């Protein structure tokens, strides 16, 4: 599938700060990758909305997720606008997307909790940490304002999940046992996915364009997991500390 956001991106193209021309290509690749990831994330929240309805959650929860899907598509457009501001084109071939798991082997409540934890409490929380760090290093200006809009939405996506996880677990605490087993796999997949997208070695940085050193990003990932995600899940009665420490067990099966 071909993603073409050129027309929509024209209305959002930011004026870029002064930058080293040698960083242009790296920045274009980075922002095009973000364009793809953000736009494709809409499918995740659309699936989550359907799951919430199936689990009997209040209707406004599903509507929030559909609003999040619209925000993710807009994020894709905003990232495409940066690609075009850099002299590129906001087009890309989309990779084949794996369907969001619906976990039919467990109850609808446990299934939606699995996805809420993986999407909001894990992935979106990591995104908040990484984007927040990039934003702090970026000089004031239109590009930082664009990134701030994305950052604010991602904070909302993460906060929504954290609050709803507590509400849903309280409905039936018996789901905790199954969720604890799932956390092993969730943490293992989170680590694999994030490290695959964060370069292991140092690279030329361009904070004015949102480019960071891969080593710093990896350290921030682990800090977010160990200082925010694990204690946050523990506070909901889950055995997240144990699951994180033993996540390698999930890869042995």
Please, which residues bridge with residue 93 across strands?
A: 2
Please, which residues bridge with residue 211 across strands?
A: 206
Q: What is the DSSP letter of 119?
A: I
Angle at 52 between CA 113 and CA 63, to 5 degrees: 130
Q: What is the mean pLDDT of residues 140-155?
A: 96
Arithmetic mean of pLDDT over the chain: 93
**What is the four-CA torsion angle of 182, 166, 235, 225, rounded to 10 degrees?**
60
Q: What is the pLDDT of residue 253?
A: 60
Number of structural domains found in the chain: 1
Q: What is the mean pLDDT of residues 155-183?
A: 95
Predicted confidence band at 5 (pLDDT cuts at 50, 70, 90)? very high
Sign (positive/negative) of CA torsion 128, 71, 171, 111?
Answer: negative
Q: What is the mean pLDDT of residues 195-202?
A: 74
Judged against a pLDDT cut of 70, whether residue 203 lies above it is answered with: no
Question: Where are the strands (E) in the chain, listed by range?
Answer: 2-4, 91-93
C-alpha distance from residue 39 to each of 4, 70, 221 (Å): 11, 9, 22
Query: What does the buried/exposed string (b/e) look like for 218-239 if buried means 16 or more CB atoms within 10 Å of the residue's CB?
Result: eebbeebbeebbbebbeebebb
The residue among 97 and 139 whose pLDDT is bigger is 139
Q: What is the mean pLDDT of residues 55-64?
A: 94
Q: What is the pLDDT of residue 220?
A: 95
Phi, psi of 181 (to 5 degrees): -65, -40
Please, which residues bridge with residue 4 across strands?
A: 91
**pLDDT tens digits, 60-117:** 999 999 999 999 999 999 999 999 999 999 999 988 888 889 899 999 999 999 999 9
Q: 94: domain CATH number?
A: 1.20.1260
Q: What is the mean pLDDT of residues 139-162?
A: 96
Judged against a pLDDT cut of 80, whether residue 207 lies above it is answered with: yes
Judged against a pLDDT cut of 80, whether residue 16 lies above it is answered with: yes
In the chain, what percentage of residues exceed pLDDT 90? Answer: 85
Q: What is the pLDDT of residue 140?
A: 94
Q: Which domain, by its residues, includes 147?
A: 2-252
Q: What is the pLDDT of residue 108?
A: 95
C-alpha distance from residue 112 to each of 56, 96, 150, 190, 203 (Å): 10, 23, 25, 17, 38
Q: What is the pLDDT of residue 98?
A: 82
Find, among 21, 64, 198, the residue nearest to 126 by Cα. Answer: 198
Predicted confidence band at 204 (pLDDT cuts at 50, 70, 90)? low
Q: What is the mean pLDDT of residues 119-145?
A: 95
Output the six-digit token pair for 252: 């042995």
Output the six-digit token pair for 218: 């990896």
Q: What is the DSSP letter of 12?
A: G
DSSP 160-217: HHHHHHHHHHHH-TTHHHHHHHHHHHHHHHHHHHHHHHS-SS----BGGGTB--HHHH
**pLDDT tens digits, 212-233:** 888 889 999 999 999 999 999 9
């Amino acid at each position: 599938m071909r993603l073409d956001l050129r027309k929509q991106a024209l209305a959002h193209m930011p004026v870029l700060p002064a930058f080293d021309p040698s960083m242009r290509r790296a920045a274009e690749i980075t922002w095009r990758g973000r364009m793809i990831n953000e736009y494709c994330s809409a499918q995740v929240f659309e699936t989550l909305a359907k799951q919430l309805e199936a689990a009997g959650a209040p209707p406004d929860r599903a509507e929030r997720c559909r609003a999040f899907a619209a925000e993710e598509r807009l994020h894709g457009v905003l990232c495409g606008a940066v690609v075009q501001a850099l002299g590129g084109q906001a087009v890309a071939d989309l990779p084949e997307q794996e369907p969001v798991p619906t976990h039919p082997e467990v109850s609808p409540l446990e299934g939606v909790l699995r996805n809420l934890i993986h999407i909001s409490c894990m992935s979106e929380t990591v995104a908040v940490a990484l984007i927040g760090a990039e934003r702090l290093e970026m000089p004031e200006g239109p590009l930082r304002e664009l990134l701030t809009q994305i950052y604010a939405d991602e904070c909302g996506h993460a906060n929504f999940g954290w609050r709803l996880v507590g509400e849903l677990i309280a409905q039936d605490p018996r789901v905790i046992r199954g969720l604890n087993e799932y956390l092993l796999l969730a943490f293992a997949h989170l680590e694999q996915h994030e490290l695959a997208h964060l370069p292991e070695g140092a690279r030329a940085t361009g904070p004015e364009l949102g480019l960071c050193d891969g080593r710093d990003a990896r350290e921030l990932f682990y800090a977010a997991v160990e200082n925010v995600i694990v204690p946050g899940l523990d506070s909901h009665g889950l055995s997240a500390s144990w699951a994180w420490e033993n996540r390698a067990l999930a890869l042995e099966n």
